[in-house]
């Protein structure tokens, strides 16, 4: 990612995080930690530049439920997502990673996507992920078909089950979303 794009995008991400109204105490703490980290990171999107870096995830949820996958290394049910490639925006990375991990196709955005949630958590191997989460909408077939090499455990959960099986950071968001998107 060029320095100018990196700086403009980092400034955009900073503004998005400042504008976030946290859904719970965990997201409020994550918001603070992310803002402090962004203040010191020269290349926040480059996972090789610093053990603390920005990642991106897709939250796929609607009235029918929530799509999760069992992370191969972590062994837990979470939203799809991962690292940001050079020259990629976080919202485009969330979509790409989600398509790669689920085999589904997601609608794109006209311009930049609004930040839905953020969570700061250990990423393994001494890394800290500043995970930016964006809402994704499935286009076409809703049947997960993860490619070889990805976790084959990808499925739709009803809202309560998703909240029960996922990590605390995502569970907080899903609780906040359930009334708006969950079954009536």
Residues 6+ apart with CB under 8 A from 20: 27, 31, 115, 117, 118
pLDDT in tens, the chain (184 residues): 334 446 799 999 999 999 999 999 999 999 999 999 999 999 999 999 999 999 999 999 988 899 999 988 888 999 999 999 999 999 999 999 999 999 999 998 877 889 999 999 998 888 999 999 999 999 999 999 999 999 899 999 999 999 999 999 999 999 999 977 755 5
User: What per-residue confidence (pLDDT) applies to 74?
Assistant: 83
Nearest alpha-carbon partner for 117 in 62, 69, 180, 58: 58
User: What per-residue confidence (pLDDT) applies to 4?
Assistant: 42
User: What per-residue confidence (pLDDT) applies to 72?
Assistant: 85
For residue 24, the enclosing domain spans 3-181
User: What per-residue confidence (pLDDT) applies to 6?
Assistant: 61
User: What per-residue confidence (pLDDT) applies to 183?
Assistant: 58
User: What per-residue confidence (pLDDT) applies to 123?
Assistant: 87
Residues 6+ apart with CB under 8 A from 74: 124
User: What per-residue confidence (pLDDT) applies to 1?
Assistant: 37
- Model confidence, pTM: 0.93
Angle between helices 25-40 and 3-19 (to 10 degrees): 150
Q: CA torsion 37→137→68→1, rounded to 10°?
A: -30
3-state secondary structure of 137: coil
The percent helix, strand, coil of the chain (3-state, each to 5) is 35, 25, 40
Domain total of the chain: 1
CATH number at residue 30: 3.90.79.10
């Amino acid at each position: 990612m060029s320095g100018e794009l990196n700086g403009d995008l980092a400034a955009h991400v900073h503004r998005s995080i400042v504008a976030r109204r946290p859904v719970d105490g965990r997201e409020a703490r994550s918001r603070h930690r992310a803002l402090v980290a962004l203040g010191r990171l020269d290349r926040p999107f480059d996972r090789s530049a610093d053990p603390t870096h920005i990642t991106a995830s897709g939250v796929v949820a609607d009235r029918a439920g929530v799509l999760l996958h069992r992370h191969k290394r972590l062994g837990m049910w979470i939203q799809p997502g991962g690292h940001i490639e050079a020259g990629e925006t976080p919202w485009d990375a969330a979509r790409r990673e989600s398509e790669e991990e689920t085999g589904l196709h997601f609608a794109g955005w006209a311009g930049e996507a609004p930040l839905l949630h953020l969570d700061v958590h250990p990423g393994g191997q001494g890394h800290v992920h500043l995970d930016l989460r964006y809402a994704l909408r499935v286009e076409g077939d809703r049947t997960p078909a993860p490619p070889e090499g990805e976790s084959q455990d990808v499925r739709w959960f009803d809202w309560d089950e998703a909240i029960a099986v996922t990590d605390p950071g995502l569970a907080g968001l899903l609780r906040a979303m359930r009334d708006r998107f969950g079954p009536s």
